[in-house]
């Protein structure tokens, strides 16, 4: 993998989120927290999970080396697992856009040496793991795609047309 791969995925992630937000912004306000039956039962809960885990991974990444894009809020006080950092769709949208911009900037800072390095970190269960840093960066983007897929399923359940998660249209 070269540094072009995470940069492409960071840009795609921001684009896919923007497209997803266009669809979500058309929903009635009551649908934001409506129980739709999944493990993360609402748009609010699945996007809250995605937001907090993105931050958790990015904070873990700073143990490899300091990254300028990952300084200050929200990285200095990452949310606890399970905490949803926003109540309304408007709050989420502002925070997500800021985070997506940080992710693109982070991807621009990556070097080949970073991607080849191993990262030791503790997961939420307290286990110490060591894995390839580049693979973990790919995991960050795969996790985002997975949960955008959950959002797409919820939109399908509500009979709301959507098609924001395919990278081929972005290329």
For residue 106, which of 3, 17, 2 has the smallest C-alpha distance? 3
Q: Considering only 13-22, 59-68, 75-84, 149-158, which range has the smallest mean pLDDT?
A: 75-84
Could you tell me what percent of the chain has a pLDDT over 70? 100
- 124 pLDDT band, cuts 50/70/90, is confident
Q: What is the 3-state secondary structure (H, E, C) of the chain?
A: CCCHHHHHHHHHHHHHHHHHHHHHCCCCHHHCCCCCCCCCCCHHHHHHHHHHHHHHHHHHHCCCCCCHHHCCCCCCCCCCCCCCCCCCHHHHHHHHHHHHHHHHHHHHHCCHHHHHCEEEEECCCCCEEEEEHHHHHHHHHHHHHHHHHHHHHHHHHCCCCCCCCCCCCCC
Domains of the chain, by residue range, sit at: 4-157
**Mean of pLDDT values over 24-32:** 95
Which structure tokens are listed for 10?
Answer: 């960071």
Phi, psi of 93 (to 5 degrees): -60, -45
| Options 3.40.50.2300, 2.120.10.30, 1.10.10.350, 1.20.120.450; CATH of 4-157 | 1.20.120.450
pTM reported for the whole predicted model: 0.95
Amino acid 111: pLDDT = 98
């Amino acid at each position: 993998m070269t540094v072009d791969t995470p940069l492409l995925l960071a840009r795609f992630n921001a684009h896919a989120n923007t497209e997803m937000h266009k669809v979500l912004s058309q929903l009635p306000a009551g649908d934001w927290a409506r129980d739709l039956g999944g493990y993360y039962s609402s748009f609010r809960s699945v996007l809250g999970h995605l937001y907090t885990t993105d931050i958790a991974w990015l904070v873990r990444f700073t143990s490899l080396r300091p990254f300028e894009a990952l300084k200050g809020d929200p990285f200095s006080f990452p949310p606890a697992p399970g905490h949803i950092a926003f109540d309304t769709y408007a709050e989420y949208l502002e925070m997500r856009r800021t985070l997506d911009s940080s992710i693109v900037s982070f991807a621009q800072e990556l070097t080949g040496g970073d991607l080849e390095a191993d990262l030791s970190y503790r997961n939420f269960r307290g286990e110490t793991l060591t894995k390839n840093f580049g693979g973990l960066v790919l995991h960050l983007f795969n996790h985002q795609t997975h949960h955008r897929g959950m959002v797409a399923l919820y939109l399908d359940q509500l009979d709301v047309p959507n098609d924001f998660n395919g990278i081929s249209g972005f290329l």
